[in-house]
Amino acid sequence: MTATMIKEFRLPDLGEGLTESEIVSWKVGVGDTVSLNQIIAEVETAKAVVELPSPFAGVITALHEQPGTVVEVGKPIVSFEVKDDAGIQPGPAAPAEAPLPKREPNLVGYGAVVESTGRPVRRQRTLLTPAETKAPVVEPVDTKPAGTNPAERPRSTPPVRKLARDLGVDLEKVAGTGPGGLISRDDVRNFVGGGDLPAAAQELAAPQSAAARGDREVRTPIKGVRKFTAAAMVSSAFTAPHVTEFLTVDVTPAMELLARLKESKPFAGHKLTPLTLVAKAVLIALRRNPGLNARWDEANQEIVQFNYVNLGIAAATPRGLTVPNIKDADRLTLVDLSAALADLTDTARAGKSSPEDFSGGTISITNIGVFGIDAGTPILNPGEAAILAMGAVRKAPWEYQDQVALRQVMTLSLSFDHRLVDGEQGSRFLADVGALLADPAMAFAMA
């Protein structure tokens, strides 16, 4: 006899002490026959992306979670139909337990889990009888079922909470009619129909606008690079007091230089852009103003002065904002710098930057000019003392040799960490960068 049975596979703790993981992708579909240890899914934990080998040989009957969902450890994620082979059943079956919630004994010395009364006392759990939870159909909306702890959030299920959130309903105000005061979908709908809602919410609740409702907001879980970026920004913005200074420069000479260089032999085949020259100007100006190439080391109460420049370049990538850096950029010739910049942006956009590319940056440049923007107040890349935003190069009427002429101008925005960079240092640095772009020959004077 080859009877079959359904086996559920619950998400295990794939690391040490992890509570959840994200299903990245399924490698199998419902109805597929899989062998033992065949890879069935890719799962991302807080520590790693790992492959899940099938624990059974059998047929997939259900995938309980969609790719992209974050699943709690212990929740079923996939079901199998397997041959009922007693030979591979694990050990003796667990003894049947009473349906009452059971407290787990804990080891000596580890302290009691829930009890705070000293000696362990068996606790009688009583279930609420239906009579006690009689539906408060016409009672005021803030009535809670008897015995409910006021601090406890209203009892409901995730889909109902989602419905309430979509409808703008505060569940605290809804009376639940289910067992134990459980709020159901109908309770939420009835509440909305009750008429003490904002007009907009009522409109939303109307069935005919359901499709429109779906389109008006898109909720994207905060995770991955976005989550990391947000944390880094918050940490930077609220630990380093930022100061931002602006300088608008006539960069016509620099643009002329750029055009000449592009024609010259050594730069044949190289990608020269305004960013290349701004980067070089920053590197030259840093030699005279090394204080901006530094880091505030809070833990050690030290200011770290870098004698090298790892130049970060903010790059918009499909995965979000990243700031890979060019190692020892101060030692590169202009040709090598242009190559390094091209390489860095290509790698970042392809999403292939390695962790090393992101670590150890000492100062950064963000090119907001490519989006047609003039100025901004950039937030420091955490751990760095300065970041320069370069604006768009625009033709504008500008003072030139005591006349108004149409010139190419650019605005530079420099944010610096005021804990270790004073206004004087920051201003001198920005003025130097500006001077180099306004008159590249100044490089002779500064280099």
Partner 1 sequence: MVTDDAGQGGTAAGRDNKTGHQGGAGHSMVQLITPAGERVSHPEYDPWLKDVSDEQLCSLYEDLVVIRRIDKEATALQRQGELGLWPPLLGQEASQVGSVRALRDDDFIFPSYRENGVAYCRGVDLADILRVWRGAASGGWDPYTVNMAIPQIVIGAQTLHATGYAMGIQNDGADSAAIVYFGDGATSEGDVNEAMVFAASFQVPLVFFCQNNHWAISEPVRVQSHTQLVDRGTGFGIPSMRVDGNDVLAVMAATRVALDRARRGGGPTFIEAVTYRMGPHTTADDPTRYRDANELEDWAAKDPIGRVHALLDRKGLFTEEFETGVRTKADAVARELRAGCIGMPDPEPLDVFKHVYSTPNSWLDRQQDHYSRYLATFGDPEVATQEEGAR
Give the active site residues: 418
How near is the Cβ of 337 to partner 1 at its closest, in Å? 24
CA distance 431 to 420: 19
CA distance 37 to 98: 35
Near partner 1 by CB under 8 A: residue from 31, 95, 105, 198: 105
Phi, psi of 426 (to 5 degrees): -60, -45
95 binds partner 1 (CB under 8 A): no
Nearest to 340 by CA among 359, 354, 351, 325: 325
How near is the Cβ of 94 to partner 1 at its closest, in Å? 10
Closer residue to partner 1 in complex, CB, 105/158: 105
Contact 414, 376 (CB under 8 A): no
Closer residue to partner 1 in complex, CB, 108/211: 108
Closer residue to partner 1 in complex, CB, 22/187: 22
Helix (H) or strand (E) holding 293: none
108 binds partner 1 (CB under 8 A): yes
CA distance 92 to 82: 19
Near partner 1 by CB under 8 A: residue from 25, 30, 35, 47: 47
How many beta carbons lie within 10 A of that of residue 38, not counting itself? 15
49 binds partner 1 (CB under 8 A): yes
Contacts with 120 (C-beta within 8 Å, 6 or more apart), sequence order: 112
443 binds partner 1 (CB under 8 A): no
How near is the Cβ of 113 to partner 1 at its closest, in Å? 13
Residue 431 vs residues 246, 286, 294, 386, 427: alpha-carbon distances, Å: 10, 12, 19, 14, 6
Near partner 1 by CB under 8 A: residue from 355, 401, 403, 444: 355
Q: Print the binding letters for residues 1-40 with partner 1: x by CB under 8 A, - otherwise.
A: --------xxxxxxxx--------------------x---
How near is the Cβ of 177 to partner 1 at its closest, in Å? 35
Q: Which range binds partner 1 by CB under 8 A, 45-53, 248-256, 265-273, 327-335?
A: 45-53
48 binds partner 1 (CB under 8 A): yes
How does DSSP classify residue 267? Answer: G
Near partner 1 by CB under 8 A: residue from 126, 354, 401, 403: 354
Closer residue to partner 1 in complex, CB, 8/203: 8
How near is the Cβ of 12 to partner 1 at its closest, in Å? 3
Closer residue to partner 1 in complex, CB, 14/431: 14
How near is the Cβ of 309 to partner 1 at its closest, in Å? 23
Beta bridge partners of 413: 246, 389
Q: Total binding residues for partner 1 by CB under 8 A?
A: 31
Residue 377 has, within 13 A of its CA and on its CB side, a CA count of 8
Q: Which of residues 267-296 bind partner 1 (CB under 8 A)?
A: none
Six-digit token pair at 270?
Answer: 């190289």
53 binds partner 1 (CB under 8 A): yes
CA distance 45 to 27: 17
Nearest to 340 by CA among 304, 320, 365, 319: 365
Nearest to 393 by CA among 257, 244, 250, 263: 250
In the numeric block, the tokens 């601090």 are attached to 151
125 binds partner 1 (CB under 8 A): no
Phi, psi of 415 (to 5 degrees): -100, 140
Burial of residue 21 (CB within 10 Å: 0-12, 13-18, 19+) is buried
Closer residue to partner 1 in complex, CB, 67/120: 120
305 binds partner 1 (CB under 8 A): no
Closer residue to partner 1 in complex, CB, 15/376: 15
Six-digit token pair at 232?
Answer: 């880094």
Near partner 1 by CB under 8 A: residue from 50, 57, 232, 392: 50
Q: Print the binding letters for residues 55-94 with partner 1: x by CB under 8 A, - otherwise.
A: x--------------------------------x-xxx--
Beta bridge partners of 243: 416
Burial code (b: 16+ CB inside 10 Å, e: under 16) for 40-51 equals: bbbbbbeeeebe
136 binds partner 1 (CB under 8 A): no
How near is the Cβ of 261 to partner 1 at its closest, in Å? 34
Contact 410, 393 (CB under 8 A): yes
How near is the Cβ of 128 to partner 1 at its closest, in Å? 22
Binding site for partner 1 (CB under 8 A): 9-16, 37, 47-53, 55, 88, 90-92, 102-103, 105, 107-108, 120-122, 354-355
